[in-house]
Structure 1
Amino acid sequence: MSVVSAIVLAAVALCATMAVAWLVATRTGRSGWVDAIWSFAVGIIGAFLALVPSVEGDNDHGRWLVALLALVWSLRLGVHIAGRTIGDSRDDPRYGQLKQEWGASSSSRLFWFLQIQAASAFLLAMSIMAAAHKPAPALGLGDWVGVALWMVAIGGEALADRQLKAFRDDSANKGKVCDVGLWGLSRHPNYFFEWLGWTAYVAIAIGSPSAYPWGFATLAGPILMYWLLVHVSGIPPLEAHMLRSRGVQFRRYQERVNAFWPGVPMAATTREGT
């Protein structure tokens, strides 16, 4: 299969997959399935593009390494989101708010919204492909720096997810805002580590000892994820929901803890009733 054919097939597959995600979400009423399916799709399509033979000089070890990173990432995240969706009968509050705003046209608008997500998935899969096909005779320093970043990202995100689940599972914390562990350093540590994972492909590709212009395509990963998580579909709608459901508690949390970048908590100044 030629590279062009593989890229076209990947684009079509992602559009079809997100159409299936739309169908599942509308039939079940649980939009959490969208994010689980999206996660699996990015990893599988990214690994497929990583393993497609490209040009002479490809390093088989490098291609398999990148494919493995993509697959393990998607498996961990997808399974986590799927488990959360199965265990909660409520709809994802972010999608729930969108449906409320869209009104009677929510079904059709959700379909096209998920096609936009297919486009973002395609860009991420292409960044995985760019990292996998760097010309190098063997694995080098950049590869191992990338693996180290990926391990920190996967471990950090998994730890943040476990800490949040443990907090929510404790009945004494009902109605409270989670600010323990990593959640005391960032209001969205899972998002931060998710973003960090995409810098791994940049280290792998740009760390190549030879000139590789396509390596800079991997920058699309962290740039796109930062924009989505911080400015579009991540923090803004989730924090709007938390302000509606937690009120003053969450405003105090916002004052004390950074939204995205981990840091030392600050002193809160919000007062009850303000």
Structure 2
Amino acid sequence: MSTLNTLLVIWLATAWMMTAGWAWQRRRSNAGIVDVLWSAGVGGSAVLAALVGAGAPATRVVMAVLGGLWGLRLALHLWHRVAGEAEDGRYRALRAHWHGSQLKFFGFFQFQAFLVGVFAVPFLAVAANPFVSTTAIGFAVAIWLLSVGGESLADRQLAVFRADPGNQGKTCRTGFWRYSRHPNYFFEWLHWFAYVVLAIGSPLWWLAWSGPLVMFLFLRFVSGVPYTETQALRSRGEAYRRYQRDTPMFFPWFPKHESDNP
């Protein structure tokens, strides 16, 4: 199957899945399902690309395992939040801004389907790689373990903090959250370099760079940091402003001060 045909199949399948997700959120007024489906869609696209690719089988298998497990872990983590909590404040604000327009939500869900295709591009670059390099595979697995392990730990640290009723209205500054305001986003971005390494030798290698590049742009300037921080300022006010002053936004580093929540 050609690269363009594979992308078309991924987009069509994801568009159908997002349509079902839109119907689900319409009944339950919880648009957080879009994040679950996006994660599952991107992880699934890694598996599909590996199945239909023409590159070295060993390289494709490694990519399918890494991409598939990454998507599964993230989708399950997000589903736990969507199923057990009220709609995320970001989507509540969007719902209010759109006055509950289901047409706009449908367009939003379909845009996420398009993005699944965008983030499938690095997998297609790996799937076309005719070479097997044990060094590259080892390096890619190391990046994956570091990034997915770091993201999982950051998610766990935040979940434990939020589960304590005494922390209501406060800002998490424990673990990785002491060194970055968005360590989960940082590790998510880092994860995409695993596929850049796996694609070395592929005729489409340059396309693998779209993963970390596009992910950084979205997380830093579009749908990640801006929306999350706007919601945090709405809900935590001055406590979060102090956190912004003290703690690096994206790349982990030592905090400027040791101030804590009141």
With the shorter chain as reference, the TM-score category is over 0.9
* d(CA) in 1 for partners of 2:214, 2:6: 22
Aligned residue runs from structure 1 range 96-245, under 5 A: 96-104=92-100, 106-136=101-131, 138-206=132-200, 208=201, 212-245=202-235
Code of the aligned partner of 1:27: R
Q: TM-score, normalised by structure 2?
A: 0.94
**Equivalent pair of 1:19/1:111 in contact (CA under 8 Å):** yes
CA deviation after TM superposition for structure 1 residue 46, in Å: 2.2
Structure 1: tracts of 5 or more residues without a match = none
CA deviation after TM superposition for structure 1 residue 245, in Å: 1.0
Aligned residue runs from structure 1 range 79-98, under 5 A: 79-88=76-85, 90-98=86-94
* d(CA) in 2 for partners of 1:132, 1:186: 34
* d(CA) in 1 for partners of 2:65, 2:199: 15
**Equivalent pair of 1:31/1:95 in contact (CA under 8 Å):** yes
Residues 267/133 of structure 1: CA separation in 2 closer, same or farther (3 Å cut) = same
CA deviation after TM superposition for structure 1 residue 2, in Å: 5.2
Aligned length: 260
Q: Deviations over 1:206-243 (max 9, x none)?
A: 3x3xxx34111011111111111111111111111111
* d(CA) in 2 for partners of 1:263, 1:213: 37
Structure 2: tracts of 5 or more residues without a match = none
Code of the aligned partner of 1:199: F
**Equivalent pair of 1:46/1:126 in contact (CA under 8 Å):** no
* d(CA) in 2 for partners of 1:264, 1:4: 45
Q: TM-score, normalised by structure 1?
A: 0.90
* d(CA) in 2 for partners of 1:29, 1:59: 45
**Equivalent pair of 1:252/1:268 in contact (CA under 8 Å):** no
Residues 2/224 of structure 1: CA separation in 2 closer, same or farther (3 Å cut) = closer
Give me the identity figure in percent.
39
Tell me, yes or no, if structure 1 residue 60 matches structure 2 residue 57. yes
Query: Secondary structure at 1:103's aligned position in 2?
Result: coil
* d(CA) in 1 for partners of 2:61, 2:192: 17
**Equivalent pair of 1:49/1:126 in contact (CA under 8 Å):** no
CA deviation after TM superposition for structure 1 residue 268, in Å: 7.7
**Equivalent pair of 2:181/2:244 in contact (CA under 8 Å):** yes
* d(CA) in 2 for partners of 1:186, 1:2: 41
* d(CA) in 1 for partners of 2:258, 2:233: 16
CA deviation after TM superposition for structure 1 residue 9, in Å: 1.4
**Equivalent pair of 2:125/2:203 in contact (CA under 8 Å):** no
Aligned counterpart, 1:247: 237
Residues 235/2 of structure 1: CA separation in 2 closer, same or farther (3 Å cut) = closer
CA deviation after TM superposition for structure 1 residue 135, in Å: 1.6
Query: Secondary structure at 1:186's aligned position in 2?
Result: coil
Aligned residue runs from structure 1 range 16-27, under 5 A: 16-27=16-27
* d(CA) in 1 for partners of 2:46, 2:30: 26
Residues 205/53 of structure 1: CA separation in 2 closer, same or farther (3 Å cut) = closer
**Equivalent pair of 2:196/2:209 in contact (CA under 8 Å):** yes
Q: Aligned-residue CA RMSD in angstroms?
A: 1.7
Code of the aligned partner of 1:91: E
* d(CA) in 1 for partners of 2:186, 2:5: 34
Code of the aligned partner of 1:92: D
* d(CA) in 1 for partners of 2:25, 2:215: 23
CA deviation after TM superposition for structure 1 residue 190, in Å: 0.6
